[in-house]
């Protein structure tokens, strides 16, 4: 019995180490949400694996249980960890911000790189960034892609609403035309609502003129 407890404890320690996952894009050890869940799953799997194995195979059973439990426990959290790292790597130097909130990711694309003033035609310099996003969205296909257009407060409410709608639709249409399934994509304009800076300055208005892409789990993905 003492030996069995020692074997289970050893496997559990290995399982906890397994919970600190290595991100394949950064090479760094991660002990975030996915790591914690993976560690818990691995410990549980180790205990069950050892308990349900014969005495001779108890160590092997514990290690197998740890591996299986860790992978299952990491789940969607690890998926988002990996996607976030790929996006940050892909978007370095583009001016696009990547924000993380739990299992949701947000890409903030300021107006100075997306559209000319009062236009819904995608700026020529923005196509390369969008092409990079297309590749990531195809690789990571468990997210819905919600595109939201925003404007500053200059001009009428109706003008801004229409412009923000058209800009969001322009991005959505480009993604679909390049192979991202339309079933994953939604788009709408929010006009001047939800400003992220003051509309009293030119710099603030430039920040408010933006497109955001929200990546959220598709039904059944978590």
Q: Are strands 143-149 and 97-101 parallel, antiparallel or unpaired?
A: unpaired
- Other beta carbons within 10 angstroms of residue 86's beta carbon come to 19
Q: What does the pLDDT look like over 44-70, one tens digit per residue?
A: 444 444 555 555 565 655 444 544 444
If one counts the domains in the chain, the total is 2
Residues 123 and 82 in one domain: no
* pTM listed for this prediction: 0.69
Q: What does the pLDDT look like over 137-175, one tens digit per residue?
A: 999 999 999 999 999 999 999 999 999 999 999 999 999
Residues 35 and 71 in one domain: yes
| Domain stop point among 61, 87, 113 | 87
Distances, alpha carbon 68 to alpha carbons 15, 18, 71, 75, in Å: 10, 11, 5, 11
Residues 140 and 188 in one domain: yes
Segments forming the whole domain that contains residue 188: 94-217
The counts of H helices and E strands in the chain are: 7, 7
Residues 80 and 118 in one domain: no
Within-domain flag for 106:
yes
Check if the beta carbon of residue 111 is closer than 8 Å to that of residue 93: no
Residues 137 and 177 in one domain: yes
Residues 98 and 206 in one domain: yes
């Amino acid at each position: 019995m003492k030996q069995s407890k020692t074997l289970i404890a050893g496997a559990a320690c290995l399982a906890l180490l397994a919970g600190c996952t290595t991100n394949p894009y950064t090479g760094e050890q991660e002990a975030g949400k996915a790591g914690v869940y993976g560690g818990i799953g691995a410990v549980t799997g180790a205990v069950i694996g050892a308990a349900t194995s014969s005495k001779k195979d108890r160590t092997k059973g514990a290690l197998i249980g740890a591996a299986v439990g860790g992978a299952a426990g990491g789940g969607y959290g690890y998926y988002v960890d990996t996607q976030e790292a790929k996006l940050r790597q892909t978007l370095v130097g583009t001016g696009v911000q990547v924000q993380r909130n739990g299992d949701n990711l947000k890409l903030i694309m300021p107006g100075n790189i997306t559209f000319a003033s009062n236009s819904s035609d995608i700026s020529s310099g923005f196509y390369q960034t969008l092409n990079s996003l297309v590749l990531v969205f195809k690789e990571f296909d468990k997210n819905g892609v919600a595109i939201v257009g925003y404007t500053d407060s200059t001009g009428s409410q109706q003008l801004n609403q229409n412009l923000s709608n058209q800009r969001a639709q322009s991005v959505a249409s480009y993604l679909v035309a390049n192979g991202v399934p339309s079933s994953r994509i939604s788009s709408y304009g929010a006009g001047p609502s939800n400003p992220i800076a003051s509309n009293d300055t030119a710099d603030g208005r430039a920040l408010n003129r933006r497109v955001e892409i929200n990546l959220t789990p598709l039904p059944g993905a978590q």
